[in-house]
């Protein structure tokens, strides 16, 4: 087994950040493996398995509303049917978010039960496994994973996302939109939050602080962040498993002796014979002002575009891991929170034309140059999260990078991805939809109290039809439609386009957009639907690929693409935007990703 000399290996990279800073990234202790007693040459105590399987659960965003309530005075908290007090976010808040805040409590347990029933032993968590890195949620997750490990022998391997941590170091936290037992929104904050200092918070508890790297990784240490006695091999880019020494030194350009240690939790582990899991910490928290101020941007829009610039040493380490995996005939699967490649199936140009360069979260798109850098590492299969959608990017090269976007369990379409390592050094990646979730509607009575309270107070209210959902799948679809109305179309789409699709039916829209009577393109039932259905369908297609069922409207979009492809720009900008939207829909329908893929050379 190859070992690197920790004494003479040191990687130093110097580069500028907008002329203000030079970051000197020093790999502490050298670039090398940390194996020690965890490396087993013969691997005799772990049986070699045929067709090993690894499940990937992305963007769980766990908020444990039972454990959270236990940290508070429960007198005025709502209670569920069992009489248990709970601390939940309002439905009003959920319908303005890309994810559900509360129901992940149920879907995570249902998914773990599903994996246990299938006999899956290896489970990777590609970031955002918690709501916002709160102590109560991180601890609850660690305890839950411990239970499944003890009961079913499952191993869990986590890597950080932009919500865990929100910032690299612990800070004040809390939310202003929890519910009390009257259905009113109330603020619950950590004791160091300004709203606790000025007395405007409803309750205060440090269980809702936002932990940083140090606290999160230590609480989750047995779930990938530290080596386990059963691991055949364990390695970090820093030549040590000591969490306090894993990271980069970032230094001021004008004063290179003024530095700050930025944690990085990347690791490589061999949990089964010849199976290597490469966990990449792709968080980059760019400094605001001087490093000594310890003020940082969030990492949500940074991703790999920033990583290749701020963590070049990490890219070099990945390259070396890939090389050694091939030399030693290891089955290497990488995972991280952020996408390594295009997740919009080549439609970024069309999206920017309609929604602007920063619309549709295009700032999160890896550039072609970034994807090229990552492809040059030789990495074959990468499992990502962050975007709360299912997508597959496959390099034009037969042996190039394959990036799979694992869907979130807390948004439509809820699911996880299962990688099966086949005997012929190929991998099958199958995404499984988690449609059945016991007790998903347990909080509905509390939401009804909230709805009634908002009606009585004449507050802006939400559509209560979401509470008629008869399955978790239907509930997440209703949530998606609510978010489309209140956030996407309501706030993020061009105002004229939003007004247009809220005003007309599909049939009226097609006639106005084309100037022709093309009502024979779809059934009368479809033509009478409100035009906002175009927006619902776009997000369904974007989030789910071939999993999306548009009730026969797929054919309409494909035919519209042919009809509109030769049309010129209309005198009315709104009509032209509608045409662009419909042509985008036609392209997305054609490019829907398959629900299962086969990847060679893994």
The answer to whether residue 405 is domain-embedded is yes
**Alpha helices for 377-494 (secondary structure H):** 444-456, 472-483
Report which of 437, 430, 429, 445 is spatially closest to residue 410, judged by C-alpha positions. 437
Pairing of strands 415-421, 426-433: antiparallel
Cα(103)–Cα(61) distance, integer angstroms: 10
pLDDT range class, residue 518, cuts 50, 70, 90:
confident
HSE (CB half, 13 Å, CA atoms) of 600? 5
Q: Tell me, yes or no, whether 151 and 261 share the same domain.
A: yes
Please give, one letter per residue, the 3-state secondary structure of 77-116.
CCECCCCCECCCECHHHHCCCCCCCCCHHHHHHHHHHHHH
Q: What is the dihedral of CA 136, 54, 301, 368, to 10 degrees?
A: 170
Give me the mean pLDDT over the 470-495 stretch: 96
- Report the length, in residues, of the chain: 602
Domain termination site, one of 381, 405, 433: 433
pLDDT range class, residue 32, cuts 50, 70, 90:
very low
* Cβ neighbour number for residue 113 with a 10 Å cutoff: 14
**Alpha helices for 153-262 (secondary structure H):** 194-197, 213-219
Give me the mean pLDDT over the 517-522 stretch: 80
Q: Tell me, yes or no, whether 372 and 508 share the same domain.
A: no
Q: Does residue 165 have a cis bond before it (omega within 30 degrees)? A: yes
Q: Tell me, yes or no, whether 507 and 396 share the same domain.
A: no
Q: Which residues contact 518 (CB under 8 A, 6 or more apart)?
A: 510, 511, 563
Tell me: the pLDDT tens digits for 373-426?
999 999 999 999 999 999 999 998 878 999 999 999 999 999 999 999 999 999
How many domains, the chain? 2
Quote the tokens at residue 73: 């005075």
- Confidence at residue 564, expressed as pLDDT on a 0 to 100 scale: 83
The answer to whether residue 475 is domain-embedded is no
Cα(496)–Cα(502) distance, integer angstroms: 10
Quote the tokens at residue 442: 């347990």
Cα–Cα separations (whole angstroms), residue 374 to 72, 304, 334, 381, 511: 46, 9, 12, 11, 46
**Quick check: 126 and 383 in contact, CB under 8 A?**
yes
**Quick check: 540 and 473 in contact, CB under 8 A?**
no
Q: Tell me, yes or no, whether 498 and 358 share the same domain.
A: no
228-242, 322-336, 567-581: least confidently modelled range: 567-581
- Confidence at residue 27, expressed as pLDDT on a 0 to 100 scale: 41
Check which CATH number belongs to the domain holding 355 and give it: 3.60.21.10
The answer to whether residue 144 is domain-embedded is yes
Q: Is the pLDDT of residue 256 over 80?
A: yes
Q: Is the pLDDT of residue 296 over 80?
A: yes
Could you list the residue range(s) of the whole structural domain that residue 501 is in?
A: 493-590
HSE (CB half, 13 Å, CA atoms) of 533? 22
Bigger pLDDT: 484 or 563?
484
pLDDT range class, residue 567, cuts 50, 70, 90:
low
Q: Is the pLDDT of residue 489 over 70?
A: yes
Give me the mean pLDDT over the 296-317 stretch: 97
The answer to whether residue 291 is domain-embedded is yes
The answer to whether residue 601 is domain-embedded is no
Give, as one character, the DSSP assignment of residue 496: H
**Quick check: 301 and 263 in contact, CB under 8 A?**
no
Cα(234)–Cα(213) distance, integer angstroms: 20
Report which of 176, 173, 185 is spatially closest to residue 78, judged by C-alpha positions. 185
Q: Tell me, yes or no, whether 256 and 386 share the same domain.
A: yes
Give me the mean pLDDT over the 573-597 stretch: 90
Cα(582)–Cα(565) distance, integer angstroms: 10
The answer to whether residue 305 is domain-embedded is yes
Quote the tokens at residue 527: 């033509």
Q: Is the pLDDT of residue 333 over 60?
A: yes
Tell me: the pLDDT tens digits for 200-220?
999 999 999 999 999 999 999
HSE (CB half, 13 Å, CA atoms) of 72? 30
* Residue/partner pairs of 562-569 with CB below 8 Å, 24 or more apart: 562/586, 563/514, 563/518, 563/521, 564/513, 564/514, 567/514
Quote the tokens at residue 469: 């959902």
pLDDT range class, residue 568, cuts 50, 70, 90:
low
The answer to whether residue 411 is domain-embedded is yes
Domain termination site, one of 393, 410, 433: 433
Q: Tell me, yes or no, whether 118 and 233 share the same domain.
A: yes
Domain termination site, one of 433, 464, 482: 433
Give the chain's mean pLDDT.
90
The answer to whether residue 402 is domain-embedded is yes
Q: Tell me, yes or no, whether 176 and 264 share the same domain.
A: yes
pLDDT range class, residue 31, cuts 50, 70, 90:
very low
Bigger pLDDT: 38 or 525?
525
Quote the tokens at residue 255: 């004063």
Quote the tokens at residue 256: 């290179």
17-21, 309-313, 469-473, 554-558: least confidently modelled range: 17-21
**Quick check: 593 and 548 in contact, CB under 8 A?**
no
Cα 306–chain centre separation: 17
Q: Tell me, yes or no, whether 165 and 290 share the same domain.
A: yes
Q: Where are the beta strands (DSSP E) in 140-294?
A: 155-159, 174-179, 185-189, 203-204, 233-235, 247-251, 259-263, 267-272, 275-280
- Burial of 41 (C-beta count, 10 Å sphere; 0-12/13-18/19+): exposed
Q: Which residues contact 428 (CB under 8 A, 6 or more apart)?
A: 419, 420, 422, 596, 597, 598, 599
């Amino acid at each position: 087994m190859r070992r690197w000399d920790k004494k003479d290996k040191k990687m130093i990279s110097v580069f500028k950040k907008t002329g203000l800073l030079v970051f000197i990234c020093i790999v502490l202790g050298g670039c090398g493996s940390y194996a020690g007693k965890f490396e087993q040459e013969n691997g005799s105590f772990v049986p070699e398995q045929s067709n090993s399987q690894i499940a990937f659960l992305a963007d769980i965003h766990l908020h444990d509303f039972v454990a959270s309530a236990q940290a508070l005075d429960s007198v005025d908290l709502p209670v569920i049917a069992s009489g248990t007090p709970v601390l939940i976010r309002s439905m009003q808040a959920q319908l303005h978010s890309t994810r559900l805040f509360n129901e992940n409590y149920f879907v995570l347990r249902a998914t773990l039960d599903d994996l246990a029933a299938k006999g899956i032993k290896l489970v990777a968590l590609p970031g955002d496994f918690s709501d916002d890195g709160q102590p109560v949620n991180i601890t609850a997750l660690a305890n839950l994973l411990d239970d499944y490990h003890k009961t079913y022998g499952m191993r869990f391997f986590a890597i950080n996302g932009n919500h865990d941590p929100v910032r690299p170091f612990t800070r004040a936290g809390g939310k202003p939109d929890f519910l009390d037992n009257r259905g009113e929104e109330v603020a619950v904050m950590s004791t160091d939050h300004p709203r606790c200092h000025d007395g405007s918070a409803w309750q205060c508890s440090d269980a809702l602080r936002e932990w940083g790297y140090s606290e999160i990784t230590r609480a989750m240490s047995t779930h990938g962040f530290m080596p386990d006695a059963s691991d055949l091999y364990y390695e970090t880019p820093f030549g040590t498993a000591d969490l306090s020494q894993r990271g980069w030194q970032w230094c001021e350009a004008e004063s290179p002796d003024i530095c700050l240690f930025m944690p990085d939790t990347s690791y490589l582990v061999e949990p089964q014979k010849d199976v290597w899991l490469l966990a990449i910490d792709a968080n980059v928290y760019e400094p605001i002002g001087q490093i000594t101020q310890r003020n940082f941007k969030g990492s949500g829009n940074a991703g790999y575009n920033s990583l290749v610039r701020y963590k070049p040493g990490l890219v070099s380490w990945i390259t070396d891991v890939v090389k050694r995996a091939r030399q030693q005939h290891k089955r290497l699967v990488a995972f991280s929170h952020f996408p390594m490649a295009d997740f919009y199936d080549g439609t970024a140009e069309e999206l920017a034309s309609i929604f602007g360069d920063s619309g549709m979260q295009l700032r999160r798109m890896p550039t072609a140059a970034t994807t090229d850098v990552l492809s040059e590492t030789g990495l074959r299969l990468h499992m990502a999260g962050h975007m709360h959608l299912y997508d597959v990017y496959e390099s034009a090269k037969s042996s190039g990078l394959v990036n799979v976007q694992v869907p979130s369990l807390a948004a439509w379409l809820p699911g996880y991805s299962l990688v099966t390592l086949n005997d012929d050094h190929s991998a099958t990646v199958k995404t499984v939809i988690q449609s059945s979730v016991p007790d998903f509607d347990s909080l509905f009575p509390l939401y009804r109290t909230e709805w009634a309270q908002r009606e009585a107070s004449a507050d802006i209210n939400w559509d209560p039809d979401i509470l008629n959902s008869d399955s978790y799948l239907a509930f997440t679809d209703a949530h998606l439609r609510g978010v489309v109305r209140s956030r996407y179309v309501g706030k993020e789409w061009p105002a004229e386009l939003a007004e247009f699709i809220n005003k007309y039916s599909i049939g009226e829209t097609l006639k106005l957009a084309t100037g022709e009577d093309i009502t024979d393109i779809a059934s009368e039932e479809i033509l009478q639907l409100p035009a906002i259905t175009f927006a619902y369908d776009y997000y369904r297609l974007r989030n789910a690929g071939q999993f999306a069922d548009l009730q026969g409207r797929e054919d309409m979009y494909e035919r519209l693409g042919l009809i509109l492809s030769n049309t010129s720009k209309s005198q009315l900008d709104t009509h032209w935007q509608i045409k662009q939207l419909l042509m985008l829909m036609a392209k997305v329908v054609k490019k829907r990703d398959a629900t299962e893929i086969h990847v060679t050379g893994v």
